[in-house]
Amino acid sequence: MKLFEPITINGMTLNNRIIMPPMQLMLGLKNRRARAFYLERAKGGVGAIIMCATSVDLLNDDQAWGRPDGVRQFVVSMQSITEEIRDSGAKVGIQLWHGNHLPAGNGAQIVPGAELVAPSAVDDRRELTQDEIQSIINKFGTASAKAKDAGFDFVEVHGAHGYLPCQFFSGADNQRTDEYGGDLYGRMRFSLEIVESIRKHVGKDFPIFYRIGAEEKRSGGITIKESQIFAFELEKAGGNVFDVSIGLPMGRNASPTKRAKMGTFVNLAEAIKKRVSVPVMAVGRINLPEVAESILNEGRADLIGIARQLVADPYWPKKVREGRADEIVPCKSCNACFIPMRSGTWKPGDPICAVNKQAGREVDL
């Protein structure tokens, strides 16, 4: 099966084409619970794991950890985890994210009192200054260098789902008249400079993934034609893989429910692939082996992102490879795994999956 053919990305070779995209399941990164969760997926045969969206401030600011050497301790703690994942056969990356907050004083954006900002003033968010924009761009670069020190094999920029880089690119959100707004190329500048900053900080041989919000269903929103041009420019800036999703998910769910067709965002990946020469990852409710294989065989994408299905059954890749697909525990696409993020009552150790009661509880069970 093409699904299990190796692929090399900027010097990094994956054993197969199956990627576990980032999911915010409230498990953390460096604790025993997170370690056990990610290790189980690595042992299950996935080609690469992208750990959950992580604030760039956490990798730049000791105060975010409540101790004077917080970032260094994070780097040291993660080194053993990334090594264990790699020893289990999977490569491991981390998704870098910015959530429209600016630090209060010297604290990180997660500290109470952080100020809400955006490309342009809207509701309770004020417009970023150019100096602040440059600071954020540099934080993505320095955070990537720390991630590399922590043993990650690659980083991914979260430029989809309506977060800050996505807002800069979207004409519905970006009303700026300076060089970071205006025409298409002005709206691309913020993300292009983020990728350039990362490349400067990590060197030429470290893979950079970019999760691109390729389309929005709203007035003035991102179009697929714009995203094709954007991806072409991001590749020139140093991007090595495009993880193709949607922008602000108005009227759509970035994690499609069972009412959505299988492979619901594959058409977007296919469109991006036509304009770039680097690998493209398809996502969007790809639960069945035959669906994943057909996407690759038809040349619509080079990598397959399987997220919630790997929560339901971490051994999906191994079972498919060994011809035991009939033993797979199917994901219900119910999104119960995101309840922890949305619930104020959930606590560590509570179930996070409707069909796999061990998910997130591997360290206990």
Per-residue model confidence (pLDDT) at position 157: 98
pLDDT in tens, 123-162: 999 999 999 999 999 999 999 999 999 999 999 999 999 9
* pTM, to two decimals: 0.96
Residue 65 has pLDDT above 90, yes or no: no
Per-residue model confidence (pLDDT) at position 345: 75
Calculate what percentage of the chain has a pLDDT beyond 90. 86
Minimum mean pLDDT range among 62-71, 317-326, 337-346, 352-361: 337-346
Per-residue model confidence (pLDDT) at position 104: 62
Per-residue model confidence (pLDDT) at position 179: 98
- In whole angstroms, give the CA distance from residue 31 to residue 19: 22
pLDDT in tens, 297-335: 999 999 999 999 999 999 999 999 999 999 999 999 999
Residue 18 has pLDDT above 70, yes or no: yes
pLDDT in tens, 75-98: 999 999 999 999 999 999 999 999
What mean pLDDT is predicted for residues 30-55? 96
Instruction: With cut-offs at 50, 70 and 90, classify the pLDDT of residue 342.
Output: confident
Which domains are seen in the chain, by residue range?
52-70+94-141+154-328 (3.20.20.70)
Per-residue model confidence (pLDDT) at position 66: 79
3-state SS string for the chain? CHHHCCEEECCEEECCCEEECCCCCCCCCCCHHHHHHHHHHHHCCCCEEEEEEEEHHHHCCHHHHCCCCHHHHHHHHHHHHHHHHHHCCCEEEEEEECCCEECCCCCCCCCCCCEEEECCCECCEEECCHHHHHHHHHHHHHHHHHHHHCCCCEEEEEECCCCHHHHHHCCCCCCCCCCCCCCHHHHHHHHHHHHHHHHHHHCCCCCEEEEEECCCCCCCCCCHHHHHHHHHHHHHHCCCEEEEECCCCCCCCCCCCCCCCCCCCHHHHHHHHCCCCCCEEECCCCCCHHHHHHHHHCCCCCEEECCHHHHHCCCHHHHHHCCCHHHCCCCCCCCHHHHHHHCCCCCCCCCCCCCCCCCCCCCCC
Residue 109 has pLDDT above 60, yes or no: no
Per-residue model confidence (pLDDT) at position 112: 56
Q: Which two tokens stand for residue 146?
A: 């720390």
Instruction: With cut-offs at 50, 70 and 90, classify the pLDDT of residue 105.
Output: low
What mean pLDDT is predicted for residues 326-350? 86
Residue 28 has pLDDT above 70, yes or no: yes
Active-site residue numbers?
Answer: 163
Residue 186 has pLDDT above 80, yes or no: yes
- In whole angstroms, give the CA distance from residue 313 to residue 331: 8
Q: Which residues of 83-104 are buried (b: 16+ CB within 10 A; e: fewer)?
A: eebbebbbbbbbbbbbebbbbe
CA 316, 317, 319: angle at the middle one, nearest 5? 65
- In whole angstroms, give the CA distance from residue 215 to residue 194: 20
Per-residue model confidence (pLDDT) at position 311: 98
What's the whole-number average pLDDT of the chain?
94
Instruction: With cut-offs at 50, 70 and 90, classify the pLDDT of residue 338.
Output: confident
